[in-house]
Each structure stands twice: as C-alpha cells, then as structure tokens.
Amino acid sequence: MRLSQDALSTVRTARLVLADGTVFEGQGFGATGEAVGEVCFNTAMTGYQEILTDPSYAAQIVTFTFPHIGNVGANDDDCENSTDASATAARGAIVRADLTTASNHRSRGDLGPWMARRGIIGIAGVDTRALTARIRENGMPHGVIAHHTSGLFDIEALIAKAKGFSGLEGRDLAKAMTDGRNYANEAGDWDGESGFLPGKAGGPHVVVIDYGVKKNILRRLVSVGFRVSVVPPTASAETIMALSPDGVLLSNGPGDPAATGEYAAPVIRTLIDAKIPTFGICLGHQLLALAIGGRTVKMPQGHHGANHPVRDHRTGKVEIVSMNHGFAVDPASLPDRVEATYTSLFDGSNAGIRLKDAPALSVQHHPEASPGPQDSFGLFDEFVAMVRANKKAA
C-alpha cells in the first residue's frame, strides 16, 4: 500500500522495544536500522555529543533526561572517542522533544545528520521521565532501538532480539574500542580562540593504557605538563616499561571490568610492584582495584550524569563531578593496603582509592569533565606532582 504525503508525515518512524515487551513509539532521527543494547539514562544538561562518542557507552542506548537536545549542533572537535575504531560508542539516543535546530558559533551542522553519519539511531517523542523512573526502580533493561522511515516494525522480532542480548556482565569491550596502535597525543586544552593548545616540551612522560580513553583525558594530561604516549589495552608490562614511563594512566572504557581485568590486572600489578606512579579513571579505577585483590559488582542503574556529588575523605570537601559507569568497586573487598579517598553521596558507593605502599591512586568519576564541572581538575595536578616526586626520589 502506498501512503499519501500527508499520511507519511504522521507515521511514527521509530520504536524502543524492551525485553519485557514494553514498546515506546516515537519519531526517528539519525541513522536508520536497528540496534540492541542496555538502556541507561544520563542526567547531564550539556554535552550530548561528548556522551554519544564516549567509548564507555559501547553497547548502550542513552536516555537523555534533559528535554532539549540538539541546540548546539555538532562538530568534529567535541567527539570524545580517540580512534576511528571507536567511532560508534553509544548505539542509540532517546529524547523527549524533537531535536532543536543548531544555534551555536562552533556548530558545523545539525545533530541528526551527524548521528546518521556515525551510525547512531535516535528516537524522539518518548516519555523519558517515565522511562527514567522505570530504570531507577527496576534497573537498566535490555532493549532495541529501531528507526525505519516506513514506520513498519516486526515487534515480536524486536522483543526476541532484546531478549537475546547478552548484556554487559562478563563482556570485555575494551579491545573493540581501540585500534591496537601506539600513538602520541600532543593536543592540550581548548582555549576558545586558537583551538587545542600544544603541550610543552621536556615534561615527564606518561603512558596511557587505552581501554577506551576519552580525548579530553589526553588533553588534560598534556595541559598539566605531560608528554603523552598511548598504548592499546593488551600492551604487556614489558612493552610499557620499554617506553620508560614516568607514570601510567589507566583509562576509562566500556564493559565488565572483571572481564577486561583477566588480561589487564596482571599488567597493572607489575607496574605497581615496579613503583611506577599510576592513576586510574573510571574503568581504570576498577581495574586498579582488581589488580590489588578487590572485586567489582554490577550496579542496578549505574551513575550517568554531570551532577554527581562525591566527598573527598582527605579534605571533607564535596565535589560535583561527571560520572559514567555501570559497575562499581566493592569497598568490602579492598585489602588493608588501600585507603578510600572518595565516596558517592548519592548511594555511598566507593568513588576513589589510594595505595598506602605504592604511588597509585584512582577515581570512579571523570576529573577531565567533558561534559561536566571542573571541580576535580586538581587530580591531574596531584598526579603530575606524584610523578615528579617519584622521579626526584629515584
């Protein structure tokens, strides 16, 4: 049957189908097709482009609780994936209102076409408050986001596809988010006028183990004075040591830390035993905990947003931070050699550790922000100070 133009304009061209059979109808945007993943929600009011390109969102479909998405458009500079291999991070985007027309001096186009080029499927017109409440009460469901311009969907097949999704537990996704190469990063912070500022020569050398690193982590390291080399997640301790690092950063990334830890934890243990200053962020925090004998657990709804309060145990101060994780470190599993440094004030989960017998620290949140507040920028200064002190003592 051929639909008239008027009829086509009223067709609902997208569906979000959950594994329990719940169906949300809406208007599609971005890429066409179908994608399956874990459905989460993010409470950030800004940074939708950074969120969709954050490799930590691999195999996830992101519900945006902020209703106005698309207003600053899209550009190449705000993508957080560091390699072409991680071009597709989040599999889909769920929003309440139709995309806003881009209106920003840095925009190079509207969000919808940008998403289409990157293979990210979107659905608008969903009651995101109801979906968010559902996730808070019942955990992150498996679902399929589908966009077909015909408006025709095989709902039973989509339900079966959602039910067949294996989930994130037990899955190592870090390897899929990198392209396996070694490279140097020389770009620092964005200054608004000249673009990304170059780093200074002669600084200490940090090796970043790339489990799905965000670009802004690399830029922050450059901005505090590091020379930055990046290695793939499977790099051996011998390969890393051969680069003569003054420090090592364990990056963020997607998937189950216990699965990635099977090959990452032994490498990290070797680096810690060698007293190389080590800093872990997000997945890197979880991997550091696993390397010293701790364990990680799957969270019901995770932490995804740019407004999360954490308390610094050392100062008593509260910082508002950016978080993006679905697994957490079990504090009861940590050995005596560990000092807890941060705690989430939302649910009391561990948000940071420091080793008492080695120069190593890590945080669950994202001190580089992007998007998010800059309360924790000082952690990069703390890391570079640790590196310099270790070099002086050597």
Chosen domain end from 139, 163, 187:
163
* Catalytic residue, candidates 38, 50, 319, 368: 368
* CATH number for the domain that contains residue 59: 3.50.30.20
pLDDT for 76 beyond 90:
no
Amino acid in position 308: H
Region of 378 (left: φ > 0; alpha: ψ -120 to 50; beta: rest) is alpha
Per-residue model confidence as pLDDT tens digits over 323-332:
999 999 999 9
Are 154 and 180 members of one domain? Answer: no
282 labelled catalytic: yes
Are 152 and 298 members of one domain? Answer: no
Confidence label for 81 from pLDDT (cuts 50, 70 and 90)? confident
148 labelled catalytic: no
Cα of first residue to Cα of last residue in the chain, in angstroms, is: 78
In a domain, 144, yes or no: yes
pLDDT computed for residue 178 by the predictor = 87
Give the list of residues 6+ apart from residue 27 with CB closer than 8 angstroms, or none.
12, 13, 14, 98, 123, 124, 125
Comparison of pLDDT for 107 and 187, the residue scoring more: 107
238 labelled catalytic: no
Are 236 and 151 members of one domain? Answer: no
Q: Determine contact, residues 126/16, Cβ cutoff 8 Å.
A: yes
Are 244 and 358 members of one domain? Answer: yes
Please give the tally of structural domains in the chain: 2
* CATH number for the domain that contains residue 259: 3.40.50.880
In a domain, 168, yes or no: no
Are 246 and 384 members of one domain? Answer: yes
What is the model's pTM? 0.94
In a domain, 234, yes or no: yes
pLDDT for 35 beyond 80:
yes
- Please give the Cα distance from 12 to 222 (Å, whole number): 47
Are 111 and 192 members of one domain? Answer: no
Are 380 and 234 members of one domain? Answer: yes
* Catalytic residue, candidates 304, 308, 325, 366: 366
Amino acid in position 292: I
Are 137 and 206 members of one domain? Answer: no
Per-residue model confidence as pLDDT tens digits over 348-385:
999 999 999 999 999 999 999 989 899 999 999 999 99
Are 377 and 271 members of one domain? Answer: yes
In a domain, 169, yes or no: no
90-104 burial code (b ≥16 CB/10 A, e <16): bbbbbbbeebbebee
* Catalytic residue, candidates 282, 303, 325, 365: 282
Are 153 and 190 members of one domain? Answer: no
- Residue 43 domain boundaries: 5-163
Are 88 and 199 members of one domain? Answer: no
Provide the 10 A C-beta neighbour count for residue 23. Answer: 13
Are 247 and 145 members of one domain? Answer: no
